[in-house]
Each structure stands twice: as C-alpha cells, then as structure tokens.
Amino acid sequence: MSNYLIRKNYIRKIPAKNQEKKIFLSAKGNYFPSELVFALIISLICIFLYIFLTKWEYLSVKKIPVKGVARISEQTIRKCAGIYEGINILSVNLYMARKRLLAIPWIAEVQLKRLFPSEIRIYVKEHEPVAVLDLGQKFIISRLGKIYKKHSESDPDNLPVVLGLKYSDIGESNEFDSIPFKAVINVLQFGQQFESVIPNNVIKSISVDREIGVTLYIMPDNSQIRANRIRLGYDNYVEKYKRFKNLLVYFEKQEDFLKLDSIDMTNLDRVVVNPIRTESLAGDNKEV
C-alpha cells in the first residue's frame, strides 16, 4: 500500500456576505451597482412628480388673505411677497417671500401659512412708532425701542422728538448700549402704559443732557399735564411718576394755581417746583 496520502478536492463555499454585489451591464460595457440604478430611478420619479404637482391646476392659489396691515396696502404686501392668484401653491418659496416682506421698513414681523389646496395666508405685524430721534438726520423709534426707518414727510407728525443723543449712544443692532438711550426708552415705555400720568401724546420733545439726564417738554396746548417742563434725570422713574401725580393733585386744589412752569425731580429728596400763578400771568412773572 502506498505511503502517499490521497488528497481530496474540496469546493470552498464563499459566504453570501462576501459575494460580489449584483451589477448591471450598460450598452457600452460599463458596470453600475444596483443601488445606484435604484436611486436614479427614484430620483427621476420624484422629479416627474414635482413637475406634475407644480403644474397641477388643482393646486393653483385662489385666496391670499393679508392680516395686520394698517400703513401698507394688501396689494403691496402680495406684490412684494411675489404671491398672486393662479400661482401654484407648491412653487411659492415661503422663506424668500418672508425675507422680502421683512425688508419693508414698517414691517416688524411676518408669518406665511400654506393651506392646501389653494390658499396662502399672510400675517403681518407693523412697527408702532413712538418717537422721532434727531441725530442731525431724523429716524423713527418703535414701541420696542428699535430704530427701524428714516423719518419722512408721510410719517406721523405728532410724535415726541428726542434730542441730545449721539450715534455712539446706539449699538450696531439698535441695542440700548448707553445710559442716555436707555433712559429715553424707559420714558417712552412709561408713556405707553394705560392711564400714564405723562402719556407720550402730550410730550413735545425729550431732551437728554449728558450730566443732568432727561427733561420732558410738554405740548403747550394740552389740558392734561399742566406743566411746561419736567426734569426726570436718569433713574427711579417709577417713584418719580408717582410723585409727579401726587404733586399735580395737590396743586390743582390750590385756588390760584393755573399751570406749572417747571418741576425738577432729578433728586426725589429735593423736588423743585416753579408754578405759574394767576398774578404772574398779569405781569409779575414771579417764580414761587
């Protein structure tokens, strides 16, 4: 018997996970993985579906209601947004439409909603002007203290004018970066409050002195605030407004009281009042 071992031939099975992936042969002899072909088919289906939906008359916009506008016409809003009747609802880029609307100076906030199959709603919040800021060039200050546009002849003409501030008082993003600017905004916000003792509509101008602080000049023909000037300084406005209200009540009870010429409330421990009495108007001009 031979000492040589007989070798048997075995067929080695390659695990399925190591087998080559199926490939497709193109007409030119190039090979493409099946996953790539599948992705290409899906992409083509999506493209044709998008084209179909954006051309589908059923999705044409028929209603474009605009809410919240007062100073800007609804037609201007629709035109600026690029939305019109008949446009396909899916072809409207709401992000770009919102961006174009926010470029309008009077618009503070805007929201657009797509309501299928045929309506796009536009919600607008406009800036509320409370004062004119005079820096050599005039600007409008909003209710929230934002400087949002240059003053023009079409703007309201009954707003108080802020004097004495500088460009350096205002931050790059209209933030309240300085004590004088913060003081002005605080006064304007107090004037917006319900039943404020010094509402903004009776203030002619707000003068800012770098050392003394804020002084209010009152409209001469108003019957609500019977004072010409009110010096408030820079701080403690809550207590100063309460004290001013009490002073008005007191002086109105005086028989010969007509109007205050000025009141200095810079220091609440030493309030200085200069009333105008009836005899002063007759020719005396005597301060009391």
Same domain, 147 and 181: yes
- Indicate if the pLDDT at residue 15 is higher than 50: yes
Residue 50 within any structural domain of the chain: no
- Indicate if the pLDDT at residue 23 is higher than 70: no
Residue 68 within any structural domain of the chain: yes
pLDDT band at 127 (very low <50, low <70, confident <90, very high): very high
More confident residue, 45 or 135: 135
Distance between CA 47 and CA 115 in Å, rounded? Answer: 23
Nearest by Cα to 192 from 183, 184, 180, 200: 200
Please state the pTM of the whole predicted model: 0.75
Residue 179 within any structural domain of the chain: yes
pLDDT at 283: 46
Same domain, 62 and 170: no
Per-residue buried b or exposed e for 228-257, using 16+ beta carbons within 10 Å of the residue's own CB: bebbbbbeebeebbebbeebbeebeeeeeb
User: Using one digit for the tens of pLDDT, what is the confidence trace for 102-121?
Assistant: 999 999 999 999 999 999 99
Residue 15 within any structural domain of the chain: no
pLDDT band at 147 (very low <50, low <70, confident <90, very high): very high
- The pairing of strands 129-134 and 161-163 is parallel
Residue 107 within any structural domain of the chain: yes
Domain boundary among 126, 152, 175: 126
pLDDT at 260: 82
User: Using one digit for the tens of pLDDT, what is the confidence trace for 159-198?
Assistant: 999 999 998 888 766 666 789 999 999 999 999 998 899 9
Cβ pair 101, 109 in contact under 8 A? no
Same domain, 133 and 67: no
Same domain, 73 and 134: no
Q: What is the mean pLDDT of residues 22-30?
A: 52
pLDDT at 54: 75
Residue 204 within any structural domain of the chain: yes
Same domain, 235 and 164: yes
Domain boundary among 95, 110, 126: 126
Per-residue buried b or exposed e for 122-160, using 16+ beta carbons within 10 Å of the residue's own CB: bebebbebbbbbeeeeebbbbeebeebbebeeeeeeebb
Which residues neighbour 118 within 8 Å (Cβ) at sequence distance 6 or greater?
58, 59, 60, 61, 62, 63, 89
User: Using one digit for the tens of pLDDT, what is the confidence trace for 198-221?
Assistant: 999 999 999 999 999 999 999 988
Distance between CA 118 and CA 105 in Å, rounded? Answer: 29
Same domain, 137 and 122: no
Same domain, 114 and 133: no
**CATH classification at residue 142:** 3.40.50.11690
Segments forming the whole domain that contains residue 88: 58-126
Number of domains comprising the chain: 2
C-alpha dihedral, 136 to 142 to 147 to 153, nearest 10°: -50
- Enter the tokens of residue 89: 């609802």
User: Using one digit for the tens of pLDDT, what is the confidence trace for 255-284?
Assistant: 776 678 899 999 999 999 887 765 544 444
Give one DSSP letter per residue of the chain, joined into a string. --SSPPPPP--PPPPGGGSPPPEEE-TTS-EEEHHHHHHHHHHHHHHHHHHHHHH-GGGB--B--EES-SSS-HHHHHHHHT--TTSBTTS--HHHHHHHHHTSTTEEEEEEEEETTTEEEEEEEE--EEEEEESSSEEEEETTS-EEEE--TTS-S-SPEEES--GGGS-TTS---SHHHHHHHHHHHHHHSTT-SS-GGGEEEEEEETTTEEEEEE-TT-SSS-EEEEEEESS-HHHHHHHHHHHHHHHHTSTTEEEEEEEE-SSTTS-EEEEEEHHIIIII----
Same domain, 68 and 185: no
What percent of the chain has a predicted confidence (pLDDT) above 90? Answer: 57
**CATH classification at residue 74:** 3.10.20.310
Please state the separation of Cα 69 from the chain's center in Å: 14
Same domain, 159 and 118: no
Same domain, 182 and 275: yes
Domain boundary among 126, 143, 170: 126
pLDDT at 9: 52
pLDDT at 27: 52
Same domain, 164 and 255: yes
Distance between CA 135 and CA 97 in Å, rounded? Answer: 33
Q: What is the mean pLDDT of residues 146-164?
A: 93
Same domain, 142 and 276: yes
User: Using one digit for the tens of pLDDT, what is the confidence trace for 61-85?
Assistant: 999 999 999 999 999 999 999 999 9
pLDDT at 284: 45
